[in-house]
Chains A and B, each alone.
Chain A
């Protein structure tokens, strides 16, 4: 039986299960969510009003045995950026959607009666929509426990905490992972969109699903073998990430002078040694945690980890570089354990690590609290944000809005979304990605490496402008394509060394669907997705003037390299010449 589109209407609490239109057949993940959002959502709609839609879609390879294929995409118009958003996540939802035959779940409109929240349960034949007053006001772990008590323990769970209920712009959507912890559709205020539709939790049946159909199982198996070997043999995906996690980047980016510190005042942090991946790995070894943890089934990279306190009690998992940077370097907390405690709290209430961390940096600049005061951060996130006090609402509104409230100039956002852990002045290729991606400042928009990038050759000096626009364009096109496969973007790392890696990935897509895509087709797909997203943003009222790095970076020289952002508007706008 072929895959279907599941369409839920929250106004009349109804659903339909539809055939997949021909033009959506070859799409998955980000390619599908962005296509549907562009086709069905009025770009001028209010993101929290009835005309926005949420679109969940597993990747093309999700649900198969392909290594690292468990990423699920969510698309909508973002209340944070005012543009299109695709945010993808590990966890178990992609595989379960795909095995159930859900090509996409589209959620439309908002209920007339907004006095309660609803629980959506998706099965093969039905979508049950029921009020869940007992879950209102609960945070994610409690909601997760309630779902695991009610359903098979493999059930997929997507939930919002109280910040999402209150439609805060820092809120995210949390997704159960294979170990019963949480991963997030983190960026762009997607929790607020779910809150606006009065949906507290979505569950997807994992009991009655079938295996995904493969057009050519033998070819698929052979390609997956090559692909898995490429991942496991590579020093990045096979050794570096499992040993130190993504947090191995603290010392590297700090040494490069690109670790934004104390609200983007410096590219070096005094806290680097306290918060670095090497220190984290030592603590994990001493305290009995684990340096490896996969965010989804079938992950062979295992970049995540379980981090315990000095007594060996669980503190956090999925303790990533961006989180540790945001609170350690950028906000200035020099205590890794306290950052882990805040990380777990943020998983529970459901807020984006990057947006929230950068917001606290801006708030410290404005004088709401002191840089490095982690105890006050914990108090605000555990009391003010859940209770929606004025301070909670201020923090919940994101870095751009806090900057405006406090009359600040040093506000590190693009399209109102916080700039992540790589300084655009010192790592200029990353800056071009922040400026131009339709997503607002997002490092993952230009993360995947493809063969054409290598063929272009040349030494890229991160402090110079030469070659950066073309590099960012190639990285973004590759990332958009990878985001459509359901693959973790880390799968592209081995492509730098192993020419067999990406062809094996394309072979798997071909064997899954019985088609004959070439590498050029995949590049074209990535380019088409970017263009579709860009056109949506233009129709939504964003212009080239929104493709800009904050002005203060043009005249505040960033230590230690004293780098400034020196691209002209014309140079940036040339990004879209493809």
Chain B
């Protein structure tokens, strides 16, 4: 199935180093894969992702993805209270 993938800040830099396009790119993944499975399949190390956006909502990394989902990988380092009020800290802890 197809998803649209994005990666931010340190995760973007790391994927670029690995030669993996990661700015609003379509990507084919297996049915039933979670965001964590996607991260593993990219070879992206654990420290580069605190939580993920799925269709504009911050969710834990164990969230199962679906056809057409828009996924963004979010590293640690979100400033302000936004890490809290967007639910990033909580999602990071439950991944």
**A contacts, CB < 8 Å to B:** 235-236, 239-241, 243-244, 246, 248-249, 251-253, 255-257, 273, 277-278, 303, 422, 427, 429-430, 443, 446-449, 453, 458-463, 471, 475, 490, 493, 496, 560-561
- How far is A256 from B90 in the complex, measured between Cα atoms in Å? 15
A427 and B79 form a contact (CB under 8 A): no
> Which residues from B are CB-within-8-Å of A443?
80
Once the chains bind, are A248 and B78 in contact (CB under 8 Å)? yes
Residues of B within 8 A of A475 (CB): 81
Residue-wise interface mask of B (47-79) relative to A, using a CB-CB cutoff of 8 A (1 in contact, 0 not): 000000100111000000000000010111111
Contact A462 B85, CB 8 Å, known A239-B77, A240-B79, A447-B80: yes
Q: Would you list 9 pairs from A and B whose C-beta atoms are within 8 A, ordered by A residue?
A: A236-B76, A236-B83, A240-B77, A243-B10, A248-B9, A447-B80, A447-B81, A460-B87, A462-B87
Q: How far is the CA of A171 from the CA of B81 in the complex (A)?
A: 27
User: Is A252's CB under 8 angstroms from B78's CB?
Assistant: yes
Contact B9 A240 (CB under 8 A): yes
With a cutoff of 8 Å between Cβ atoms, the chain A residues found around residue B91 in the complex are: 459
Q: How far apart sit A470 and B94, CA to CA, in the bound complex (Å)?
A: 23
A248 touches B77 (CB 8 A): yes
The answer to whether B9 and A277 have CB atoms under 8 Å apart is yes
User: Which of B10, B56, B84 is A496 in contact with, Cβ under 8 Å?
Assistant: B84
Would you call B6 an interface residue if the criterion is a C-beta within 8 Å of the partner chain's C-beta atoms? yes
Per-position binary interface string of chain B over residues 3-15, scored 1 when its CB falls under 8 Å from any chain A CB and 0 otherwise: 0001011101100
Residues of A within 8 A of B85 (CB): 427, 429-430, 460, 462, 471
Known A427-B85, A430-B85, A496-B89; judge A236-B78 contact (CB<8 A). Answer: yes
Is B84 a contact of A460 with CB atoms below 8 Å? Answer: yes
Interchain CA distance A248-B76 in the complex, whole Å = 11
- Between B8, B13, B24, the greatest number of chain A beta carbons within 10 A of the residue's beta carbon is seen for B8
Q: Which partner residue on chain B sits nearest A493 by CB separation?
A: B79
Residue of A nearest to B56 (CB): A257
CB distance from A269 to the nearest CB of B (A): 13
CA distance in complex: A246, B13 (Å) = 17
Q: Is there an interface contact between B12 and A459, defined as CB atoms closer than 8 Å?
A: no
Contact at A241–B77, with CB atoms within 8 Å?
yes
Report which residue of A241, A251, A475, A561 has the largest number of chain B beta carbons within 10 angstroms of its beta carbon: A251
B1 at the interface (CB under 8 A from A): no
Q: Evaluate whether A241 and B87 lie within 8 angstroms (CB atoms) in the complex, with A252-B8, A255-B53, A278-B12 already known.
A: no
Contact partner, A493, options B10, B53, B57, B80, Cβ 8 Å: B80
Determine whether the beta carbon of A490 is less than 8 Å from that of B79.
yes
Count of residues in B whose CB is under 8 Å from the partner chain: 30
The answer to whether A235 touches B76 (Cβ under 8 A) is yes
Question: Chain A interface mostly helix, strand, loop or mixed?
Answer: helix
Q: Assess the B81–A446 pair: CB atoms within 8 A.
A: yes
Q: How far is it, in angstroms, between the C-alpha of A560 and the C-alpha of B74 when the chains are bound?
A: 19
Contact across chains for A256 and B86 when beta carbons are under 8 A apart: yes
User: Nearest chain-B residue to A426 (Cβ)?
Assistant: B56
Tell whether B25 is near chain A: CB-to-CB under 8 Å: no
Cα–Cα distance between A39 and B91 once the two chains are bound (Å) = 45
B56: chain A residues within 8 A (beta carbon): 255-257, 560-561
User: Given the complex, which residues of A lie within 8 Å of B42, measured CB to CB?
Assistant: none
Residue pair B86, A243 in contact (C-beta under 8 Å)? no
Q: Indicate if the CB atoms of A239 and B10 lie closer than 8 Å.
A: yes
> In the bound complex, how far is the Cα of B72 from the Cα of A278, in angstroms?
14
When distances are taken between beta carbons in the complex, the residues of chain A under 8 Å from B57 are: 256, 461, 463
Q: In the complex, A446 Cα to B80 Cα: how many Å?
A: 9
In the bound complex, residues from chain A placing their C-beta under 8 Å from that of B74 are 252, 255
Name the A residues within 8 Å of B81 (CB-CB): 429, 446-449, 475
CB-nearest residue of chain A to B11: A278
B84/A241 in contact, CB under 8 A = no
Give 5 nearest A-B pairs by CB, closest first: A240-B77, A235-B76, A429-B85, A257-B56, A459-B90
A421 smallest CB distance to B (angstroms)? 11
Of the residues B6, B75, B86, B90, contact of A427 by C-beta under 8 Å = B86
* Cβ–Cβ < 8 Å partners of B9 in chain A: 240, 243-244, 248, 251, 277-278
State which of A244, A256, A449 has its C-beta within 8 Å of the C-beta of B84.
A449
- Beta-carbon contacts under 8 Å, B20-37 to A: 23-24
Q: Is B79 touching A236 in the complex (CB atoms < 8 A)?
A: yes
Which of B9, B23, B85 is most buried by chain A, counting CB atoms within 10 A of its CB?
B85
- Measured in the bound complex, the distance between the Cα atoms of B24 and A510 in whole Å is 50
Q: Verify A240–B90 contact, CB threshold 8 A.
A: no
Min Cβ gap B7→A in Å is 9
Q: Which residue of A lies closest to B90 (CB)?
A: A459
In the complex formed, the residue of B with least CB distance to A461 is B87
Q: Given contacts A460-B87, A560-B56, is CB(A241)–CB(B79) below 8 Å?
A: yes
Q: Say yes or no: B80 contacts A249, CB within 8 Å.
A: yes
A561 to B70, CA, bound (A): 13
> Nearest chain B CB to A358's CB is how many angstroms away?
19
Alpha-carbon distance A448/B84, docked complex (angstroms): 10
CA distance A243 to B13 in the complex (A): 11
Contacts of A236 in B (CB 8 A): 76-79, 83
Residues of chain B lying within 8 A (CB to CB) of residue A248:
8-9, 77-79
Kindly identify which residue among B8, B10, B72, B79 contacts A246, using a CB–CB cutoff of 8 Å: B79
Other A-B pairs, 13, CB within 8 Å; known A240-B79, A255-B53, A459-B87 = A235-B75, A236-B78, A246-B80, A248-B9, A248-B79, A249-B78, A255-B6, A256-B57, A427-B86, A429-B85, A460-B90, A493-B83, A561-B56
Contacts of A255 in B (CB 8 A): 6, 8, 53, 56, 72, 74
Distance in angstroms between the alpha carbons of A255 and B8 in the assembled complex: 10
Distance in angstroms between the alpha carbons of A422 and B84 in the assembled complex: 14
List of B residues within 8 angstroms of A256 by Cβ? 53, 56-58, 86
Q: What is the chain A residue whose CB lies nearest that of B83?
A: A496
Inter-chain contacts of A427 with B (CB < 8 A): 82, 85-86
